[in-house]
Amino acid sequence: MKLTHLHTFQIFFLAGMSLLLGCSKTSVEDIPSYLAIDTISIKVNAIQGTASHKIVDSWVYANNELIGGFELPSRFPILKSGSTNLTIFAGVKLNGMNETRSPYPFYQQITKTVNLVRDSILDLGHLKYSYTEGTKFAWQENFEQYNLSIDTTARSEITLVRAKLPELATAFPFEDNEYAAKVVIPNDSLVFECVTHNSFKLPTDGSSVFLEMNYKTNNPFTMGLLINGSVASQRPVLVINPSSIWNKIYINLTPSTAANSGASSFKVYFTARKSNKEPNAEILFDNLKLLHF
């Protein structure tokens, strides 16, 4: 079919009108600004222990509106411009699980006012978090002192050793960290179990209670609570899976303490049996912190 000049004009006219109508649907407000967050760290004081962390996300609010949770390092759009109040929470994997990523209640959120420009990236620079005011450190153990606050039970057939490990200098740079707990289980017929010497009064009203820990292991091990009350009981909380490198985990004890409102106090324990094909099950852990509000 041959196109006449009129047909050609009509086609270009209709195409032009479609383009104009399409453009009219996009307004300046639809053009996002962008934020970038690349590096973060934890600032601690002399009584707060290690500065190691495993912050994996930033949860961002702009003018009190949730923008989202973003995996680090991150570049993300935000449909705002001009002066904007940002609130940024440090996100972790609760119990080490991808499915339970959440702001960590014991890290103080960062607030700042920024000027956002549409179609431009604002790099927020290095973010430095600290522990929230009011955080109570019920218990800490970094194994640097000879007298330990945790030891094996009468049931345990394996000893817990305070071991000097050169690898800690690389795993935790710029920290005075030379020792960790070491457990070696040679066969699957032997039981390892250790428990804190002291009992801890923890909130049972649903207030946040967490255990932070660095660990490296080729064998699963279990962390749990000994519950002191009218009837004493032992409750496992979490099975910690193998990690070939030093890892950090944030164990959420809140459901366990809240489910035991009649408890007078709690102790922390660890237990394990050999379940791998290696000659020995080897479990290392360090920098334990029991936190609550």
Q: Which residue has the tokens 């940002």?
A: 86
**DSSP 8-state assignment for residue 99:** G
Residue 155 to residue 54: CA distance in whole angstroms: 33
> Within a 13 Å sphere around the CA of 146, how many CA atoms are in the beta-carbon half?
0
Q: What is the pLDDT at residue 26?
A: 62
Strands 40-43 and 127-130: parallel
Tens of pLDDT, residue by residue, the chain (293 residues):
444 443 433 333 334 434 444 444 567 778 999 999 999 999 999 999 999 999 999 999 999 999 999 999 999 999 999 999 999 999 999 999 999 999 999 999 999 999 999 999 999 999 999 999 999 999 999 999 999 999 999 999 999 999 999 999 999 999 999 999 999 999 999 999 999 999 999 999 999 999 999 999 999 999 999 999 988 899 999 999 999 999 999 999 999 999 999 999 999 999 999 998 889 999 999 999 999 99
Q: How many CB atoms lie within 10 A of CB 178?
A: 15
Q: Could you tell me the CA-to-CA distances from 55 to 110, 198, 211, 251 in Å, in that order?
A: 14, 30, 15, 14
Nearby residues of 143 by Cβ (< 8 Å), 6 or more positions away = 162, 179, 180, 181, 286
Q: What is the pLDDT at residue 19?
A: 41
Q: What is the pLDDT at residue 230?
A: 85
Q: Could you tell me the CA-to-CA distances from 79 to 67, 75, 76, 132, 209 in Å, in that order?
A: 9, 14, 10, 30, 36
Domains, the chain, ordered by start? 30-130 (2.60.40.10), 136-292 (2.60.120.200)
Q: How many CB atoms lie within 10 A of CB 182?
A: 19
**Phi/psi of residue 11, nearest 5 degrees:** -65, -50
Q: How many CB atoms lie within 10 A of CB 109?
A: 14
For residue 287, give both structure tokens: 């920098």
Q: Are 257 and 168 contacting, i.e. CB atoms less than 8 angstroms apart?
A: no
Residue 163 to residue 181: CA distance in whole angstroms: 6
Listing from the earlier edge strand, what are the strands of the sheet with 265-273? 150-152, 191-196, 265-273, 221-228, 233-240
Residue 46 to residue 130: CA distance in whole angstroms: 13
Short-list 235, 217, 237, CA closest to 227: 235
Nearby residues of 125 by Cβ (< 8 Å), 6 or more positions away = none
Q: What is the pLDDT at residue 128?
A: 98
Q: What is the pLDDT at residue 179?
A: 98
For residue 20, give both structure tokens: 């104009």
**Environment class of 9 (CB within 10 Å of its CB; exposed 0-12, middle 13-18, buried 19+):** exposed
- Tell me the Cα Rg of the chain: 27
Residue 16 to residue 47: CA distance in whole angstroms: 69
**32 prior amide bond cis, ω within 30:** no
